[in-house]
Structure 1
Amino acid sequence: MELPVVDLSRYLQFSDDGSVSQLGTDLLDSCREVSRILKETGALLVKDPRCSAQDNDRFIDMMETYFQMPDDFKRLQERPNLHYQVGVTPEGVEVPRSLVDEEMQEKFKTMPEEYKPHTPKGPDHKWRYMWRVGPRPSDTRFKELNSEPVIPEGFPEWKEIMDSWGYKMISAVEVVAEMAAIGFGLPKDAFTSLMKQGPHLLAPTGSDLSCYNEEGTIFAGYHYDLNFLTIHGKSRFPGLYIWLRNGEKVAVKVPVGCLLIQAGKQIEWLTAGECIAGMHEVVVTSKTMDAIKLAKEQNRSLWRVSSTLFAHIASDAELKPLGHFAESSLASNYPAIPAGEYVEQELSVINLKGKKGFS
């Protein structure tokens, strides 16, 4: 199965001042399509004319250069005291949810063999860099989630490239959030109003394929994302699998110039489970092996960089089912909680807030 691609161009031409009632039938259908795909698959491919393949390449080029630096250099940007929510997270720190979640482990046993995820044995074999994008609140209960950014020495274009790509991807998420809100029968700004001053994170991962290149190696164990919506540019090495709502496992192919959007736990909360956080993993596959061979022949970097941004609900905003979703029979499963408090609970589980003793 290939995910459908939604072109955002026509919605972008719709005036910011335009009310939903002025949307034509075609655009309304597009909005319903966005919400339907997110509901059924937890993932969506979009084309946004403001986010070019060249932008993505420039970003990945710089991150490849960074991740190739010696470990001692990279650790200078490590901030464990801030729950690794800014700067670098070394490999071997982040624990996949499925390693510590007994409910998930029980679910594994009931899955058909062909749809089972790889079983993590320990923390992920990936580095990650966290770069805060967008304005932060001057007054917040959640200081650690809204800290100042960390800039590595020797990268004069760092801030410009990170901010440029980060803002472009957030802009794409905001359009999808508006379209999804309309498709779900909510006010156009139901989601975007809660995203204002959110702790959005441009969070590329780096996995060393010169070191970890055996088929089945896990870079990101089976998990969901704790944020609102996640957006990725195209990676230079395949390996991402997602699980559809019906349990089917799908290898994701992102066409050149497209972006992948995935539903996180916060949109699940706001829709009372109408839209479920999408499960996914990143592993070395036979196609990854083919891409490694080609990269070696072309003398390119063997670091697999994911061009990932986590879009969040503002830390001090309340997560609770919105509008008609509050009447859902499942609404009681999603009690009101400040978004920042929810995020801190999740970070603790995956070993980014306090140590769990994994080696």
Structure 2
Amino acid sequence: MTDILPIIDLGLYLRGKNDPLAVEECKKAANALVDYGALLLKDPRVTEEDNSQFLNLMEDYFAQPYEKKLKDARPDLSYQVGVTPGFTEEPICNRDPKCLDMIAKMPEGSRPLPITGPDVKWRFFWRIGDRPKETEFPQLNSEPIIPEMFKDTWFTVMNKWGNQMHRAVLDVTEMVSVGFGLPANKLPDLTKNGPHLLAPTGSDLNEYGKLNTVLAGFHYDLNFLTIHGKSRFPGLHIWPRNGSTKMQVRVPDGCLLVQAGKQLEWLTGGKVKAGYHEVVVTESTLKAIENAKRSEPKRPLWRISSTFFLHIASDNLLQPLEPFEHNLALYPPTLTGKQVQNELRLLSLGE
């Protein structure tokens, strides 16, 4: 394996989906998720200006006083809309014996930093896409929260960035379908009316900007695919194939990052593994902090991730697809909403 993730050219695919070069790019995307659990994506439709506008909004939001942000929290809905305060979400590996055993077997130099409790990061969940007309899981498909201080700009900026991320990751989903030899619409159709979330995190680097501080402890994502714009502060590490090699992710300018989640692992019977990752303060983070302090105009010193979670629809059955059915015993048929609820309990977010 190399020290850089494969870069997938989405523009090549969009220019001619049946072109042999486009089909090869689809296979490259599928193989990247198998080998790394992640890939870098070049989408010519997404601009740095849009990413910057979104990051500015979220920096301003998370820099508000604690009490103002807390008005946007909905613990009764397992924090699946609105804000999740810091020290609420617990990394899943803190409660998973299999994960702890996996860490213990890693070479010492490749282990994640120790998890000492819930993450310091805050998060905001903003629903993107159509809701189902009927569902067994209304809690996962709730109405959005609009923060009082940002009501004039919030809806426009959040939907603009969220819809761009949704469109980009849906196209990746189509590419992965083709790459695995499935009909192009097979995986995208499973996500229709899913509880997709624009889910930026915020970590206060004034308070937690010290070397080796864990901002988001070692974990995998419970959803289908996750996509991010480039953060202003590096610090993300991944473990390809849940293995022993730790990689610091470097997102080139003009690229997005896509990561495999647990629902994709389920649908592929484990051929693709949900990618384990952590976010910590590194030497590169400290350099970015110093640069930010010297820059003008001054911005709130919060690390924002412009994260978007693509989900399989809550009422769809989650089970290995036809090419991957040999692992049905390990991934038994389960309603996707049940899978999400089970994972939320492990994160200390659900009952």
The question of a shared fold, defined as TM-score above 0.5 by the shorter chain, is answered with: yes
Distance 2:75 2:313 in 1: 22
In structure 1, what is the equivalent of residue 335 of structure 2?
Answer: 338
SS in 1 for 2:304: strand
Given that residues 226 and 346 in structure 1 are in contact (C-alpha distance below 8 angstroms), is that contact kept between their aligned partners in structure 2? yes
In structure 1, what is the equivalent of residue 97 of structure 2?
Answer: 102
| Alpha-carbon RMSD | 1.0
TM-score by length of 1: 0.94
Which residues in structure 2 correspond to 1:45-60 (within 5 Å)?
Answer: 45-60=40-55
Shift in Å at residue 13 of structure 1? 2.3
Which residues in structure 2 correspond to 1:337-356 (within 5 Å)?
Answer: 337-354=334-351
Is structure 2 residue 111 aligned with structure 1 residue 116? yes
In structure 2, what is the equivalent of residue 238 of structure 1?
Answer: 234
In structure 1, what is the equivalent of residue 83 of structure 2?
Answer: 88
Distance 2:202 2:268 in 1: 32
In structure 2, what is the equivalent of residue 296 of structure 1?
Answer: 293
Is structure 2 residue 271 aligned with structure 1 residue 280? no
Given that residues 295 and 301 in structure 1 are in contact (C-alpha distance below 8 angstroms), is that contact kept between their aligned partners in structure 2? no
In structure 2, what is the equivalent of residue 181 of structure 1?
Answer: 177
In structure 2, what is the equivalent of residue 310 of structure 1?
Answer: 309
Match of 2:157 among 152, 161, 170: 161
Residues 18-38 of structure 1 deviation map (CA, whole Å, 9 limit, x = unaligned) = xxxxx2221111111000001
Distance 1:13 1:197 in 2: 27
Shift in Å at residue 161 of structure 1? 0.8
In structure 1, what is the equivalent of residue 69 of structure 2?
Answer: 74
Distance 1:132 1:227 in 2: 14
User: Could you list the runs of 5+ residues in structure 2 that have no partner in the other structure?
Assistant: none
Distance 1:52 1:59 in 2: 11
Shift in Å at residue 301 of structure 1? 2.3
Distance 2:139 2:78 in 1: 7
Residues 117-160 of structure 1 deviation map (CA, whole Å, 9 limit, x = unaligned) = 01110000000000000110121000100000000012111011
Aligned length: 345
Given that residues 13 and 23 in structure 2 are in contact (C-alpha distance below 8 angstroms), is that contact kept between their aligned partners in structure 1? no
Tell me the amino acid that sits aligned with residue 120 of structure 2. H
Moved over 6 A (4+): none
Distance 1:24 1:14 in 2: 5
Is structure 2 residue 145 aligned with structure 1 residue 150? yes
SS in 1 for 2:303: strand
Shift in Å at residue 280 of structure 1? 0.2
User: Could you list the runs of 5+ residues in structure 1 that have no partner in the other structure?
Assistant: 16-22, 355-359
State percent identity of aligned pairs: 50
Shift in Å at residue 247 of structure 1? 2.8
Given that residues 16 and 22 in structure 2 are in contact (C-alpha distance below 8 angstroms), is that contact kept between their aligned partners in structure 1? no
